[in-house]
Amino acid sequence: MTSPDTSADVVVIGGGIAGVSIAYELSRSVRVTVLEMEPTLAFHTTGRSAAIFLETYGGEQIRALTTGSRAFFTDPPEGFEPALAAPRPLLQFATEGRGGVIERMHAAVLRLVSDAELLDGEACRELYPLLRPGVAERGMYEPRALALDVAALHQGYVGGARRNGTEIVRTARVVSLERTGDAWTATTADGGRHRAPVVVDAAGAWADVVAAAAGVRPVGLTPLRRTIFMVTSPLGEGTRDLPNLSDVDQAFYVNPEGAQFLCSPADETPCPPSDAKPDTLEIARAIEAINAATTIGIRGIGASWAGLRTFAPDRSFVLGADDEVPGFFWLAGQGGYGIQTAPATARLGAALVLGEPAPPDLVARGLDVSRLAPGRLRS
């Protein structure tokens, strides 16, 4: 069955959090069509994310977008669930000899995250009794970190965009993008044709593939697999009172999830765009590391899954108009930061698509749009 042809001011390719959030913001001013290749929205990375709001996470530009998103999560606009976030502090720790890494990180984040607290090893154990004695040399505690309801956030954006007139077309894999005059025509695998002067490439792991279909030079995005698995906690319901725990060297992280732990080896294995599967060897490595650092005592796992986190070579976002092809706009390379930055990133992206300046509150946080522009990766 051929999807109905559409005509809009902007075609957004991708129905994950990046695509639906910018569609929501754009639809306040212009007509938008969203094209999603899967039968279900948020099928890939968005739907598999264990999203935590961490203002200490990522580089300077990421932190500007994250801190600029907090108000949205704590006081959502009309049309969104009132509780998109819940308190979930983070403890990052460094093993012996690695305390300097934590100290440098702490110094770097203080301007935007003034309540981040530097801890000694004993204080780390007081906050996280399951840490083995002597494991942590230094720690950094982020008391205002949040656990995010990804499904509610995504559905809020979808519902808002639709109320504003956005047409969302599923099972609409784009096979060609042609520009004639001042307009693009996106042709999908089922023969549908969708026209607009502007295309926003928000296709996640497939963003370079979409660019190539439009005759746009790829920017060198790399999808990296991240594996997640569930284990039983020895504390039962008491697990809820623990902070998230992360090794600063990214050997693993452990997040409370009810009476269980959501764990990850924090793996980053390059993969082609695909339906990612969990890596059993990485799970085994993570279990060994978690058991060495804590008294959780993992002997077996429950559910496991994987997603793709897509990065540009410099690990910053690719956000802005293509410098070589008119009417082609990038919103890609969000890596592991796409959910926690979605509100600010969508506001910024919509402003740039509409030819408006970057939101002043983000600029005041140190945002520099030139450091996100796709042209930086081709210079």
Q: What is the pLDDT of residue 44?
A: 64
Q: What is the pLDDT of residue 47?
A: 60
pLDDT at 168 over 60: yes
Name residues whose C-beta falls within 8 Å of residue 293's C-beta, 6 or more positions apart in sequence: 95, 131, 132, 135, 247, 252
Q: What is the pLDDT of residue 2?
A: 60
Q: What is the pLDDT of residue 49?
A: 72
Portions of the chain given CATH number 3.30.9.10: 89-143+222-311
**Class of domain 89-143+222-311 as given by CATH:** alpha beta
The arithmetic mean of pLDDT across residues 61-79, rounded, is 96
The arithmetic mean of pLDDT across residues 296-305, rounded, is 95
CA distances from 362 to 29, 65, 202, 270, 337 (A): 21, 7, 21, 31, 16
**Class of domain 6-49+150-220+314-377 as given by CATH:** alpha beta
Portions of the chain given CATH number 3.50.50.60: 6-49+150-220+314-377
The tokens describing 68, both together, are 């600029």
For residue 20, report the phi and psi dihedrals to the nearest 5 degrees: -75, -30
pLDDT at 1 over 60: no
Confidence of residue 195 (pLDDT cuts 50, 70, 90): very high
Q: What is the pLDDT of residue 96?
A: 92
The tokens describing 102, both together, are 């934590």
Judge contact between 221 and 332, C-beta under 8 A: yes
pLDDT at 48 over 70: no
Confidence of residue 45 (pLDDT cuts 50, 70, 90): low
Q: What is the pLDDT of residue 39?
A: 87
pLDDT at 3 over 70: no
Give me the residues paired with residue 263 across strands.
229, 254
Question: If you average pLDDT over every residue of the chain, what do you get?
Answer: 94
Query: What predicted TM-score, i.e. pTM, was given to this entire model?
Result: 0.94
Q: What is the pLDDT of residue 254?
A: 97
Instruction: Report how far residue 331's alpha carbon sits from residue 60's, in angstroms, rounded to the nearest whole number.
Output: 18
Question: pLDDT (tens digit, 9 = 90+) per residue, 283-292?
Answer: 999 999 999 9
Nearest in space to 170 (alpha carbons), one of 42, 330, 346: 42
